[in-house]
């Protein structure tokens, strides 16, 4: 049917849907709370929203504050996991599990109950072990250079940097992460000094990217012939499986229920979500829900997935 015909069903058109979604998100004045345990992030204005989508054909579509850099935080754990698996392969799984934790991202209690083997590579304890594997016996500077280069290659731009002020802010107030790292060390699950591994972890979490850059960086997880391939298809499937089951911490079940695609969130308010074979999506809105995941970002993804029929279920 031609679109002009009365009652015609229009094909979903992203260039119409994304600006509408942006307007809807701004109409409703409930933005959630910014992360305040990292003072540099507590200063961010929560009233911001952006969305960007790269389709399998390589086209980019975006709306909102999509060129504003933000702190990527835990979304970088997808990239560090890809690098760690590239370096030590399945050996990583002797040190970290692959099950959802059902606990907050920075929970301490489960780590002791399970003898210092974190449930999965996305909760903080698991990401600290993964960072330790990326570090190997190198200096933090070398490992960070590899991580930044991986992200730049994935995004197709060199204009991506670490914000040292954010890293310093988290180092000063990162008492929970220090507790987790020292507990891991007490269980012989760190090969480097806790301060070295944590320094590397805080710095990669402090990477800044725009929403457009993040959607571009996610292209390698889509597994489409026209998009860059940085890891094998088998590894892509496994990374997506972990994002679906563990990418939103104790909100992972709710995200799968509401959105229905793999996603990884960060306390900077960013989410990278993948529609396998179809699209890489990034959303950003700094206000968080009770699980520490972007409130508007989750809502926007739920709405987009519904409108595009993108749930994998
Ligand atoms: N750097 C943050 C922390 O360790 C990352 C947490 C997150 O984004 N969920 O607390």
Active site residue 74: yes
Q: How far is the CA of 156 from the centre of ligand 1 (A)?
A: 25
pLDDT beyond 90 at 1: no
| Residue 2 confidence (pLDDT) above 90 | no
**235 backbone φψ class: left, alpha, beta (φ>0; ψ -120 to 50):** alpha
249 is catalytic: yes
Is there an atom of ligand 1 within 6 Å of 206 CB? no
Q: What's the whole-number mean pLDDT along residues 173-177?
A: 95
**Would you say the CB of residue 299 lies under 6 angstroms from ligand 1?**
no
User: pLDDT tens digits, residue range 111-134?
Assistant: 999 999 999 999 999 999 999 999
Q: Whose CA is nearest to atom 4 of ligand 1?
A: 124
Model confidence, pTM: 0.95
Distance CA 36, CA 143 (A): 28
Residue 12 has a pLDDT of 80
Mark whether 265 is an active-site residue. no
Q: Mean pLDDT throughout 256-263?
A: 98
Q: Is the CB of 51 under 6 A from ligand 1?
A: no
* Pocket mutation for ligand 1, best pick of 33, 42, 74, 206 (most atoms within 8 Å of C-beta): 74
Pocket of ligand 1 contains residue 246 by CB under 6 Å = no
- Nearest atom of ligand 1 to the alpha carbon of 37: 10
Mutate-to-test residue for ligand 1 from 77, 105, 120, 287, highest number of ligand atoms within 8 A of CB:
105
């Amino acid at each position: 049917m031609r679109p002009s015909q009365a009652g015609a069903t229009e094909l979903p058109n992203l260039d119409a849907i994304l600006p509408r979604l942006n307007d809807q998100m701004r109409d409703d004045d409930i933005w959630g709370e910014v992360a305040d345990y990292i003072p540099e992030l507590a200063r961010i204005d929560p009233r911001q929203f952006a969305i960007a989508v790269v389709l399998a054909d390589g086209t980019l579509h975006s709306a909102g504050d999509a060129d504003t850099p933000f702190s990527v935080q835990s979304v970088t754990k997808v990239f560090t996991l890809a690098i760690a698996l590239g370096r030590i392969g399945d050996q990583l799984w002797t040190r970290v599990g692959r099950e959802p934790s059902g606990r907050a991202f920075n929970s301490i209690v489960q780590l002791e109950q399970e003898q210092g083997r974190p449930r999965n590579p996305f909760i903080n304890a698991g990401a600290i072990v993964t960072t330790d594997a990326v570090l190997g016996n190198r200096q933090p500077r070398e490992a960070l250079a590899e991580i930044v280069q991986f992200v730049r290659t994935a995004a197709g731009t060199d204009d991506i940097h670490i914000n040292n002020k954010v890293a310093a802010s988290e180092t000063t107030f990162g008492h929970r992460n220090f507790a987790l790292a020292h507990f891991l060390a007490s269980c012989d699950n760190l090969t480097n000094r806790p301060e070295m591994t944590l320094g590397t972890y805080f710095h990669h979490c402090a990477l800044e990217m725009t929403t457009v850059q993040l959607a571009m960086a996610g292209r390698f997880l889509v597994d489409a012939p026209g998009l860059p391939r940085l890891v094998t298809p088998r590894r892509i499937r496994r990374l997506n499986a972990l994002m679906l089951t563990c990418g939103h911490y104790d909100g992972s079940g709710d995200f799968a229920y509401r959105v229905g695609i793999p996603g990884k969130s960060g306390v900077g308010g960013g989410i990278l979500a993948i529609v396998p074979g179809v699209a890489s999506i990034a959303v950003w809105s700094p206000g968080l829900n009770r699980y520490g995941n972007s409130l508007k970002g989750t809502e926007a993804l739920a709405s987009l997935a519904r409108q595009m029929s993108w749930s994998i279920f």
